[in-house]
Chain A
């Protein structure tokens, strides 16, 4: 059974419809990539899953319908969203940001060990734990966003362009950590990326979105070999 499944998902901002019936599924334990050009509806798809925009259609998480539930409730089910723009609590400290990630958890002792584990992945954040998060660099805030999501102890992480604004070296490091998170922590990932080459290297499965519809799907390997994907998104 798929961990998350979207059927005929529509979404709109006011009267402007952005998604026109998107279908996709995420297997448990997998890394799934959503590819597409600017404005194709990738970010909106992630927002639709978390009830951050008005939607129609069906979304199932672990078999149960979650469309129509509130953003808070969906987070509490174990869906962590690393949003577009990083969503940092700018005036709080780095560590307060991380503790907020674990806000809904009651297993206090495990939260402490998770905090240390997150600092293990991103030692830079530990150095800056008392610093106001708004003063962190863009890359550090991106790490903070991923870490905050991880503190939720999620089953599924939605990542909206985690490579955005990062130096190439940092992107490589971040993707390495995402892979480790997926393998070690059994967290499934849904990755939205413009950097199609890196996303396809990381992912098991991928969907290509154009103007609010899925136009192509398959294993990452298959998409890499697809001519149109190669020309339009991989650039060779």
Chain B
């Protein structure tokens, strides 16, 4: 029983990370109806930036904040420079651009930092009261995830800019007619997604260690999470993230073993697409013909 509880709690910790990344995917999906395959590599690159800053002697939380800020601007830059020119291109062209971005970020990181695995510091103390079931880092990661989610929710729900972002994603034509600069809203969405991804990367790196391929598996789980929750539902992405995290851990520990864990994500992706493509909280799209 104790082992089971431990696995569930550990699942919640990684689930929070999947939730963040899934949320980043959903944000870009809502605005563009495309899944950004490079989301994981963007997060990985951001984590290397944080590693450089910490290694240069910067206190962790300052490096954390700076990394989130830098990632935000990199996200905006990527949208403006790389995505904007293919705005009206066919879907496949954009997908190819996403994949190119993935490969380029991966290779550039390997080139700058080498492919040697590095350890990444956790900002949380080594000992904590809950230590029997969860490591301090796991508790901290859940806390950070929840804070990020809360901030995002407040931003979208209560600020005029958040409202404008939602409006631009939903109905770009009407948004233009009330004077919203829809192009910039898209860029802002990319910035936010990149910033969220950066947080996810920094939270997962102490667990999986830092290397240019660290996000490959995690992005798959995030896809599964976004699909389980419904690819157009931010709330669904978060719940899906925690769900996938727990499922992956429990199944991995007791049913299929650690080696086959990643297939949980793949089975989930295929299962959801076959059985309930709109996910748990997604909108079912009905079109009159």
Give me the interface of A with B, judged by CB distance under 8 Å.
50, 52, 70-72, 75-76, 80-81, 83, 87-92, 96, 99-101, 103-104, 148, 152
Contact = CB atoms under 8 A, between A and B. Distances in A.
B178 A100 contact: yes
A92 B167 contact: yes
B184 to A, nearest CB: 9
A89 B160 contact: no
Closest 9 CB pairs of A and B: A87-B174, A104-B179, A75-B179, A71-B176, A76-B179, A81-B177, A72-B181, A100-B178, A100-B167
A87 B173 CA distance: 8
B19 interface: no
Contacts of A89: 166-167, 170-171, 174-175
B163 A90 contact: no
A195 to B, nearest CB: 23
Given A72-B180, A152-B179, 19 more contacts: A71-B176, A72-B181, A75-B178, A80-B177, A83-B177, A87-B171, A87-B173, A87-B174, A89-B167, A89-B170, A91-B166, A92-B163, A92-B170, A100-B164, A100-B167, A100-B178, A101-B178, A103-B164, A103-B180
A88 B178 CA distance: 11
A59 to B, nearest CB: 16
Contact of B160 (A80, A92, A99): A99
Given A99-B160, A100-B164, A100-B167, A88 B174 contact: yes
A50 to B, nearest CB: 7
B166 A92 contact: yes
Contacts of A75: 176-179
B247 interface: no
Contacts of B171: 87-90
A189 to B, nearest CB: 16
Interface of B: 160, 163-164, 166-167, 170-171, 173-182
Given A100-B163, A100-B164, A90 B177 contact: no
A148 B163 contact: no
A75 B163 CA distance: 18
A70 B179 CA distance: 9
B160 A50 contact: no
Contacts of A91: 166, 170
B255 to A, nearest CB: 39
Contacts of A70: 176
B262 to A, nearest CB: 35
A50 B175 CA distance: 13
Given A89-B167, A91-B170, A100-B167, A50 B177 contact: yes
A160 to B, nearest CB: 11
Contacts of B181: 72
Contacts of A88: 171, 174
Contacts of A148: 178
Nearest to A158: B177
Contact of B179 (A52, A96, A103): A103
A185 B137 CA distance: 60
A101 B182 CA distance: 14
Nearest to B161: A103
A91 B234 CA distance: 14
B180 A52 contact: no
Contact of A103 (B170, B173, B178): B178
Given A72-B182, A100-B164, A103-B160, A87 B170 contact: no
A139 B181 CA distance: 29
